[in-house]
Amino acid sequence: MTHTLVYPITARNNAAGHLEIGGCDVVELAERFGTPLLIYDEATIRDQCQRYKAAFSAHSDNFEIIYASKAFSCLAINQLMLEEGLSIDVSSGGEYHVAKLAGFPSEKIFFHGNNKTRDELEYALDGGVGYVVVDSFQELDLLEQLLAKRGAKQRILLRITPGVEAHTHSYIETGQVDSKFGFGLGDGLALEAIRRAMNSPLLELMGLHAHIGSQIFQLEAYRRAIEILVQLVAQARASFSFECRYLNVGGGLGIRYTQEDSPSSIADYARVKVEGVREEVRAAGLPMPRVLIEPGRSLVGKAGVTAYRVGTIKEIPGVRTYVSVDGGMSDNIRPMLYGARYEGMLANKANLPADTTVTVAGKHCESGDILIKDAQIARPEPGDILVTPGTGAYCFAMASNYNGNLRPAVVLVREGEARVIIERETYADLVAKHRPLRH
């Protein structure tokens, strides 16, 4: 069994023939903390952060790496990102709250969203937020109204929709013309937004932002987006002396979920983003801005694995074998939402050949609750610990209580130690906000 490419960097088979991550035996973790269990490897997250920093440093000393916390908004993980010197992107009042609690200073917080509510904006302005990434004219109006009441000035970026297709799943493509996000270039809307923001005494327009999608393997789309953004900057500079100090070129780097995936390297990603901006601004005779990026998936995706316990095994001769586990769509909706593909292995049979083809099903009352179709694993038996790698991003973040299932516990492993960073929900949590019909 090889797990170097898809699994966390510390993954190995131990002497007991079990999968080990961060020096911890996954089977023991499952016994100790219960299942489903989300296990994060600290070394992998730090390694990814350091790779990003090294890759960008090779091209520039004026860049900022912003963790897109929508991938996994969690106090301890945010604190780890802060220790690594990253900034943070929040996409709601809730994510802002977690980022503040984690200790992020205002100047490191970027607030995104296509429909930030008045309450969310007020909460962020009152608590201190470094940058609001403004998505619409309504938001410009609302922000000015709120700032006028406070007599305060706010740094902003404008989110631009560059009209570029990112060749990823349509649900995670965000930069195409037909998008709910940002100011489009058609009808001069983006230019008008820049003019409006520059004319406001309450707004300090620091620059522009564009994010074209997620799980992107082909870097050329970024090159095109950068070209379009810089053209807009040049136009705005010629029209009203706009100075673009920050250019946020989004996140989106894809990761490997199965051995067949071949994402680009962080080094290539950094080169395309920084040199792409450098070449374009040079050609347009513009000064080089600070280059901002905001990866989520590629910082935490590979670091996480989910451990489930195998329950019912249903063999339909000549058709397929369903191996049901004690989680599914309530802890990982991605296969159902995007048709995302995963691999699996039995952590307690790590040295045995993966010679059995099965379909790994969840426990929810939906036929579509299938985690992996045609997984190759060792011969399964009830009680085995089945692991799916690559569940560190957009899994817990999208978890639900569907069918009254409890959100799993999350542990962080490092050098043989495991610490709970999110407690498993309880049945009491499930009804904590419910109120009975009659007292």
Ligand X SMILES: Cc1ncc(COP(=O)(O)O)c(C=O)c1O
Taking the least distance from each CB to ligand X, the nearer of 252 and 344 is 252
Least distance in angstroms from the C-beta of 358 to ligand X: 30
Least distance in angstroms from the C-beta of 334 to ligand X: 12
State yes or no: cis peptide before 335, omega within 30 of 0.
Answer: no
Is 347 strand, coil or helix? Answer: helix
Least distance in angstroms from the C-beta of 267 to ligand X: 16
Q: Do residues 18 and 347 lie in contact, with contact meaning Cβ atoms separated by under 8 Å? A: yes
Least distance in angstroms from the C-beta of 300 to ligand X: 9
Q: Say if strands 203-209 and 246-248 run parallel, antiparallel, or are unpaired.
A: parallel
**Spatial separation of the C-alpha atoms in residues 322 and 313, rounded to whole Å:** 6
**Spatial separation of the C-alpha atoms in residues 78 and 104, rounded to whole Å:** 8
Would residue 416 be called left, alpha or beta, if left means φ above 0 and alpha means ψ between -120 and 50 degrees?
left
Least distance in angstroms from the C-beta of 303 to ligand X: 13
Taking the least distance from each CB to ligand X, the nearer of 166 and 422 is 166
Which residue is it, tokens 């620059």? 207
Residues contributing to the site for ligand X (CB under 6 A): 68, 70-71, 89, 112, 174, 211, 214, 250-253, 294-298
Least distance in angstroms from the C-beta of 384 to ligand X: 31
Taking the least distance from each CB to ligand X, the nearer of 174 and 388 is 174
Taking the least distance from each CB to ligand X, the nearer of 295 and 335 is 295
Residue 180, classified by CB atoms within 10 Å of its CB into exposed (0-12), middle (13-18) or buried (19+), is exposed
Query: Cβ neighbours of residue 354 under 8 Å, at least 6 residues apart?
Result: 1, 345, 376, 377, 378
Known catalytic residues?
365
Taking the least distance from each CB to ligand X, the nearer of 303 and 325 is 303
**Spatial separation of the C-alpha atoms in residues 292 and 290, rounded to whole Å:** 6
**Spatial separation of the C-alpha atoms in residues 388 and 345, rounded to whole Å:** 7
Taking the least distance from each CB to ligand X, the nearer of 70 and 363 is 70
> For 320, phi and psi rounded to 5 degrees?
-165, 170
DSSP letter assigned to residue 113: -
Q: How many residues does the chain have?
A: 439
